Amino acid sequence: MEQLLLLIFLPLVGAIITAFAGKSAKIVSTVFSVVSLVLTLVIAGNFIPNASTQFEVNLPWIADLGINFHAGIDGISMLVVLLTNLLVPIIILSSYNHQYKNPAAFYALILFMQCGLLLVFTALDAFLFYIGWEAALIPIYFICAIWGGKDRIRINMKFFVYTIAGSLFMLMGIIYLYLQNPAHNFDIQAFYALNLDSAQQGWIFWAFFIAFAIKMPIFPFHTWQPDTYTAAPTQGTMLLSGIMLKMGIYGVIRWLLPIVPAGVHDWGQVAIVLSIIGIVYASLIAFTQKDAKRLVAYSSIAHVGLISAGIFAFNQQGMQGAMVQMLSHGINVVGLFFVLDIIFSRVKTNKIEELGGIAKVAPQLALTFLIIVLGTVALPGTNGFIGEFLLLMGVYNYGIWAAAIAGLTIIFGAVYMLRMYQNVMLGETNSLTITFTDIKGTEKLVLYTICALIIVLGIYPKPVLHLTEASVQHLLEQVNQKLNTVK
């Protein structure tokens, strides 16, 4: 109990201290993020990979409304907690060569967002989940609005309107479920136990799905994403792509599927179709991109579309693939955006046609970038392979044509990512890249760490699969049992 409370609120304490740390904010935030990672590893070491909820906290909060501070960790949430607390120190370290205006506020907002994310990933009370959902949005809005690039206000407003609209749909769904609950509380197990008919489950499905689809994002709710990823400061883009979009995926698994299985049964095919359209659409758009950062943004939509299709295929392989790929995608996309940030910091452009020959003058950057790209395109032996293999197997078990079209993400991804790498890294140097310097200091630390994770998880993914297997199996059994009893 104490461990989980400390895990959730340590970043909040760190955010408050960092906000008053002045020029030392970078170091203070690093210390708190590393301590959070160490605590997460301790919890993971004591975690028993079965279907039970562990380190549970259940304290009265707003008793008159049946709201408790109820949180806990199972195999599914353990994975995303690990991802969050692994990536936050990496993201902070990746900023060391930047000089931000008002750094205390910048790093405090990152830690505050970390606290919100951890609330989302551990909440077992719908009201607490919603508080974490909104709490994670506030800091990223200010990070993008204050430290973003050109036209950031308009772009950020679009992002904010999209996400708030989705949140309101979800809030309506939560309130409806609360009113249907005889116990009049927001406990997740009470919501799981509700006996709703197909019509009720159908509209609640859409109330939740829209909120989660915007966050992931899924076609056609994705239009905020490319502009936001491009205009946000790199560390903001890393937070959005590496961790925040996992809120939507996690929400589908933890809340949508078990609460409204009949809604998923009736409308899941629509969700798969939208996911597959997003895969093909985003991949085709990625081919046309001249800005490398924007290309990676569209590739992220394609990868998340495959994860979503795997979840709604609703079988063991698809769900396990989604879990592994959440972790792999988070690591890989943070690595991609960091490499592009290094390039931009040297030559002040991410325009692909203006680059070239960087491998000749920066061989270490070229090698680490190649490993990250190969992980992204799911080369066997890298972390991206096992997740995409399981996802495609899950979608294949759902329908062969769905798998055939969804599988295009691997082919298309290999083409546009390797072509981008070739144009940026290979060939002859030009007037911009001739003076390019290789990675050093914290740049090496971050990229070597990411590459090590890509290789280790690719060669030996068993610990990740074992961590989530029992919880995923239990979830599927629980949902199938409830589906059989729906009126």
Give the pLDDT of the chain (487 residues) as one tens digit per residue. Answer: 688 999 999 999 999 999 998 888 999 999 999 999 999 999 999 999 888 889 999 998 888 888 999 999 999 999 999 999 999 999 999 998 888 888 999 999 999 999 999 999 999 999 999 999 999 988 988 898 888 877 788 888 888 888 888 899 999 999 999 999 888 889 999 999 888 888 889 999 999 999 999 988 888 888 888 888 888 888 999 999 999 999 999 999 999 999 999 898 888 889 999 999 999 999 999 988 898 999 999 999 989 999 999 999 888 999 999 999 999 999 999 999 999 999 998 888 888 988 888 999 999 999 999 999 999 998 999 998 999 999 999 999 988 888 888 888 888 889 999 999 999 998 888 888 888 888 898 999 999 999 999 999 999 999 999 999 999 999 998 888 887 775 4
- What pTM value is reported for the model? 0.92
Write the burial class of residue 437 (CB in 10 Å: 0-12 exposed, 13-18 middle, 19+ buried). Answer: exposed
CB 221 within 8 A of CB 158: no
CB 410 within 8 A of CB 382: no
Position 487 scores a pLDDT of 47
Give the closest residue to 391 by CA, choosing from 263, 275, 297: 275
> Looking up tokens 């197990």, which residue turns up?
189
CB 82 within 8 A of CB 67: no
Gap between the Cα atoms of 98 and 234, Å rounded: 10
Position 1 scores a pLDDT of 60
CB 279 within 8 A of CB 217: no
Give residue 125's region: left, alpha or beta (phi > 0; psi -120 to 50): beta
Gap between the Cα atoms of 259 and 209, Å rounded: 12
Give residue 328's region: left, alpha or beta (phi > 0; psi -120 to 50): alpha
Could you count the other beta carbons within 10 Å of the beta carbon of residue 408?
16
N-terminal to C-terminal alpha carbon distance within the chain: 38
Range list of H helices, 54-150: 75-93, 103-122, 126-147
Length of the chain: 487
CB 158 within 8 A of CB 151: no
